[in-house]
Amino acid sequence: MDALVAGYRRFRAAGWPARRTLFRSLAERGQQPRALVIGCIDSRVDPTMIFDVGPGEILTARNVANLVPPYQPDNASHGTSAAVEFAVRIMEVPDLIVLGHGMCGGVQTLLHGAPEGARDFVAPWMAMAAPARRRALECSVVEDRQQICEHEVIKVALANLMTFPWIAERVAAGRLALHGAWFAIHSGELTILQPDGSFAPVAPDIDSA
């Protein structure tokens, strides 16, 4: 914690003065985020860094392995679904992005089982992605299964998002678009889910090449 408090002091000294005006404007006018990014809790995959956005620009919801459960309004405590509802029905964001990544520990537990000391919540949470596990295990190349599973988990999350009636309605009306993306930790490259189910690299910016 000491290191984090020291970081906060640096922020107050150097980061805050530069952002004071922005935060005042965000406080007075409110936020108008352009998207909700559903990402993994992994410390190496920070959506605001990857998409190079600042305060007020995107909503983020992070959980183990960037999953979304199916629509299930049963009065239970659905943290991710509440974040999705807030973003879609209250903030009316035009884009939902499920951001997966390489070397995902959550996906690892899906493929190989959660460690014995961490099965209260991680295992049942990951169980919703069982179809992704099945598809990954169909691959005979064992080393490829992790990445296949990471890609398939993104597709499971997107399919589950479409079970929310107010998401399906907005998508059908063209007011909301869903996207899948996968970030490679080792290379820093982002790939985007294509209509054919493959993931393609983001084309380089011609201006900055």
Instruction: By CB under 5 A, tell whether 152 contacts Zn ion.
Output: no
- The DSSP line for 135-170 is HHHT-S-GGGHHHHHHHHHHHHHHHHHTTSHHHHHH
33 versus 106: smaller Cβ distance to Zn ion: 106
Taking the C-alpha atoms of residue 64 and residue 114, their distance in angstroms, rounded to an integer, is: 12
Instruction: By CB under 5 A, tell whether 37 contacts Zn ion.
Output: no
Give residue 130's Cα distance to chain centre: 18
From 37-45, 70-78, 138-146, 154-162, span contacting Zn ion (CB under 5 A): 37-45
Q: In the structure encoding, which two tokens stand for residue 115, read together?
A: 């460690």
Residues near 157 by beta carbon (within 8 Å), at least 6 away in sequence: 38, 66, 67, 68, 98, 180
Instruction: By CB under 5 A, tell whether 122 contacts Zn ion.
Output: no
Instruction: By CB under 5 A, tell whether 59 contacts Zn ion.
Output: no
Instruction: By CB under 5 A, tell whether 104 contacts Zn ion.
Output: yes
From 38-46, 90-98, 111-119, 181-189, span contacting Zn ion (CB under 5 A): 38-46
From 10-18, 39-47, 121-129, 195-203, span contacting Zn ion (CB under 5 A): 39-47
Instruction: By CB under 5 A, tell whether 154 contacts Zn ion.
Output: no
Q: Which of 116, 129, 144, 142 is nearest to 40 (CA)?
A: 129
Smallest gap from Cβ 143 to Zn ion, in A, equals 18
Smallest gap from Cβ 150 to Zn ion, in A, equals 8
Give the H or E element holding residue 29. helix 16-29
Taking the C-alpha atoms of residue 45 and residue 104, their distance in angstroms, rounded to an integer, is: 10
Q: Are 50 and 190 in contact (CB under 8 A)?
A: yes
From 99-107, 124-132, 164-172, 178-186, span contacting Zn ion (CB under 5 A): 99-107
106 versus 180: smaller Cβ distance to Zn ion: 106
Per CB under 5 A, residues contacting Zn ion are: 40, 42, 104, 106
